[in-house]
Structure 1
Amino acid sequence: MRSVPKYLVTVLLFALACFLASASDPVPSKTSVLQSTIPLLLFCMDPKVVTANDFFFSGLQIPRNTANRLGSNVTLVNVDKLPGLNTLGISLARIDFAPYELNPPHTHPLGTEIIVVAEGTLYVGFVTSNTDNKLFTKVLNKGDVFVFPIGLIHFQFNVGKTNAVAFAGLSSQNPGVITIANAVFGSNPPINPDVLTRPSKWKIM
């Protein structure tokens, strides 16, 4: 029986190490075949070509433009923008709010979110699953922290007269996002209006 070349053993061990490292981000790489554009893991880079810049991102201190229909702006730093996050199971976001504006109800299918307010006052909350649909809310001031569990619908609303800024950590290198209103009312083709205009007929299971 011929021995396996040493270089092949090295390659296989490196690939196995990358695979085992995925345990830090223990969720499926996609929630369905239709969401295959949300990769969880990327191919590991050759350590010989990795530099400090692969672990570096600059600019989160810069206020973002909130002149849009929502009055908020989310700057996500995930594995696409920071390759060094690959297999580490974390990402980061800056969220800017104009006065009395909103980061609307949404969900991250692949990650829990923890938020800290850097400036301003936010009214935040999340809704539990269909078992009881309980709403948990809190008014956050500078330095306050709140957690949104993975997959649950949540929101942040600036209730102050000044701009607000928050930073969020997420427990996935690419947590994904589904904005509820966009999904329900912005589908292509549109959902039949009868489905959306007859809530009295709905039954909570």
Structure 2
Amino acid sequence: MATASFFLLAVFLALASSIAFSSDPSLLQDFCVADKLSPVKVNGLVCKDPMEVNADDFFKQAYLDKPRDTTKSMVGSAVTLINAMELPGLNTLGISLARIDYAPFGENPPHTHPRATEILTVLEGTLYVGFVTSNPNKLFAKVLNKGDVFVFPQGLIHFQFNPIHDKPTVAIAALSSQNPGVITIANAVFGSKPPISDDVLAKAFQVEKGTIDWLQAQFWENNHK
């Protein structure tokens, strides 16, 4: 009986540990370069034959040195992400990188990364940034200048805004997943396909259904490309 109880306790602790530390899986080999041509579907990307791997699988030439055009963006920002699809050598390494360009008064609107914590560094310019905790929804916000660093915990709603009217801003973000994912709040709530019922959203936001219908009729741009 004691042995059975010990076994059940060990299983419970193992499951609890796997849940508590759920993230990109730990490495079991030196690398697992993504085979983007494989038809096999797994949770992640299939490994390329190690004998076919070369230095170019870990290299991306001059990809983040050029600013993205933010003038055509309704929110005034553009996110250039390097994940395992862009750089196959990142597969299973649990990290990705993004350059974010902000026009004057441009913003990266409230969003979450369901699979990653983000650490952001301002390279040029100024940003007002913040994140909101789970209930009771406390805001943590700061104004960042060149060289400043800020962390957004995994899964929490966060944003960045350039408050300067005549100067662009550039930042680099590192994320703790090879595929962090992004849920932009306004896009998800008002731009889903098919749309969420206006009865549901009117009740949730305590507004008239006509307001919800107007919001759902807008074009909700994806600036993460």
| Structure 2 length-normalised TM | 0.70
| Aligned counterparts of 1:62 and 1:156: Cα–Cα separation in 2 | 20
SS in 1 for 2:186: helix
Extract unaligned runs of 5+ from structure 2: 1-23, 28-40, 208-225
| Aligned counterparts of 1:45 and 1:22: Cα–Cα separation in 2 | 17
**Aligned partner (choices 115, 123, 135) of residue 120 of structure 2:** 115
Tell me by how many angstroms 1:200 deviates.
Answer: 4.5
Percent identity reads 66
**Aligned partner (choices 137, 140, 145) of residue 141 of structure 2:** 137
2:160 pairs with 1:146: no
Tell me by how many angstroms 1:39 deviates.
Answer: 6.8
Compared with structure 1, are the counterparts of its residues 117 and 190 closer, same or farther at alpha carbon in structure 2 (3 Å cutoff)?
Answer: same
2:43 pairs with 1:44: no
| Aligned counterparts of 1:190 and 1:99: Cα–Cα separation in 2 | 32
RMSD of aligned alpha carbons: 1.9
Residue 42 of structure 1 aligns to which amino acid in structure 2?
L
| Aligned counterparts of 2:25 and 2:130: Cα–Cα separation in 1 | 30
CA contact (8 A) 1:107 1:179 kept: yes
Extract unaligned runs of 5+ from structure 1: 1-20, 25-37
Compared with structure 1, are the counterparts of its residues 120 and 39 closer, same or farther at alpha carbon in structure 2 (3 Å cutoff)?
Answer: farther
SS in 1 for 2:195: coil
State the aligned residue count: 167
Residue 120 of structure 2 aligns to which amino acid in structure 1?
I
Residue 162 of structure 1 aligns to which amino acid in structure 2?
K
CA contact (8 A) 1:120 1:164 kept: yes
What residue number does 1:169 align with?
Answer: 174
| Structure 1 length-normalised TM | 0.77
Compared with structure 1, are the counterparts of its residues 45 and 64 closer, same or farther at alpha carbon in structure 2 (3 Å cutoff)?
Answer: same
Compared with structure 1, are the counterparts of its residues 136 and 109 closer, same or farther at alpha carbon in structure 2 (3 Å cutoff)?
Answer: same
SS in 1 for 2:94: coil
| Aligned counterparts of 1:107 and 1:39: Cα–Cα separation in 2 | 24
| Aligned counterparts of 1:189 and 1:172: Cα–Cα separation in 2 | 29
Listed as ranges, the matches of 1:1-205 within 5 Å are 22-23=25-26, 41-58=44-61, 59-66=63-70, 67-130=72-135, 132-160=136-164, 161-198=166-203, 199-200=205-206
| Aligned counterparts of 2:100 and 2:43: Cα–Cα separation in 1 | 23
**1:72-114 residue CA offsets vs partner (Å, 9 max, x unmatched):** 0000000000011011100000000000011000000000000
